[in-house]
Amino acid sequence: MEEQILAVQRMQDYIEAHLGEELGLADLARVSMYSPWYSYRLFVRWVNMTPAEYIRRLRLSRSALRLRDGQVKVAELAFELGFGSVDGYQRAFYRAFGCNPGEYARAPVPLWLFTPYGVKYRELRKENEMENAKTVFVQLVEKPARRVLIRRGVAARDYFAYCEEVGCEVWGLLTSLGSEPVSLWLPEHLIAPGTSEYVQGAELAPGWDGPVPEGFEILELPAASYLRFQGEPFAEEDYCAAIEQVQGAIGRYDPAALGYVWDDKNPRIQLEPVGERGYIELAAVKKKP
């Protein structure tokens, strides 16, 4: 089973590296080291969509980010990302997001972007351990008052339970807003009845007044002090162990050395585990009385 997962991961990695090129099943079979027929079956089994659908959704989402972030012509973008024609790209974009690329470039709105999760990191997450203890860096940071667009779960207390309850697509929509998405463990007074402690959201400027997608809501958070805990860079397959090490460091840390105590009125914040920067969590603190 592990070799199957790694074969699918090689296909995902190849797609990522060659997204703007013509991608065929023969190319994926070559990197998977299985026959085209068997490679296709493995991909569908572990990713729950065909390679063609995966490639199309990834290209459309990457194109949306390009349109949001810069001055780029629709025609150039269509061919750069491997679409056969401008008309075909525009039709595909509209079917996926409900607006055409030109409209979105002029006035970006929240979109349900596709987030490609590597099967290796999802399916093998419990089988990997980091060999040596790593250093965790601690820094005091100040967060201003801000609005947070969130989507609540049902009873989730971590990412995997949240994805099962709400779906993993929430992260893609939050990414479309332009700021780095975050996960939050809400304090008791911010948890609505029958909803989860763990939510995903995007921190926005205090005056942000963009459209709120269905199922989302706005939280108003005050200015607060945080301790930012950041682990060392890690191999992507070791991300579960990296999270455990940082969370263990938080559990052992006493903020009294800095003249603070833990602040249970503000949410704890989790950033996306990115191996090259290390895992990051932020825990709220306040001055000792």
Q: What is the pTM of this model?
A: 0.73
Q: What is the pLDDT of residues 114-159, one digit of tens each?
A: 888 888 776 655 444 444 547 899 999 999 999 999 999 999 999 8
Per-residue confidence (pLDDT) for residue 127, from 0 to 100: 47
pLDDT of residue 132: 52
Give the residue range(s) of CATH 3.20.80.10 domains in the chain: 136-287
Matching CATH number, 136-287, of 3.20.80.10, 3.40.50.2000, 1.10.3720.10, 1.20.1250.20: 3.20.80.10
Proportion of the chain above pLDDT 70, given as a percent? 96
Angstrom distances, CA of residue 268 to CA of 106, 127, 174, 215, 278: 35, 27, 18, 22, 17
Closest listed residue to residue 101, CA positions, set 87, 115, 80: 87
pLDDT on residue 260 = 95
CA angle 166, 55, 177 (to 5 degrees): 50
CA gap 119, 205 in Å, rounded: 34
pLDDT of residue 124: 54
Angle ∠(104,107,110) on CA atoms, nearest 5:
70
pLDDT at position 83:
86
**Please, how many CA atoms are within 13 Å of residue 121, restricted to the half-sphere of its CB?**
18
Residue 32 to residue 9: CA distance in whole angstroms: 8
Kindly report, residue by residue over 183-213, the tens digit of the pLDDT: 999 999 999 999 999 999 999 877 788 889 9
Specify the range with the lowest mean pLDDT, choosing from 45-49, 264-268, 279-283. 45-49
- Domain 2-106 maps to which CATH number in 3.40.630.10, 1.10.1060.10, 3.40.50.150, 1.10.10.60? 1.10.10.60
Positions of CATH 1.10.10.60 in the chain: 2-106
Q: Tell me the pLDDT tens digit for each residue of 19-73.
A: 888 888 889 999 999 988 888 889 998 988 899 999 999 999 999 998 988 778 8
Give the pLDDT score at 268. Answer: 97
pLDDT of residue 143: 94
Q: 116: how many CB neighbours lie within 10 A of its CB?
A: 17
Specify the range with the lowest mean pLDDT, choosing from 101-115, 125-139, 161-175.
125-139
- pLDDT at site 130: 47
Q: What sign does the dihedral 243-126-184-205 (CA atoms) show?
A: positive
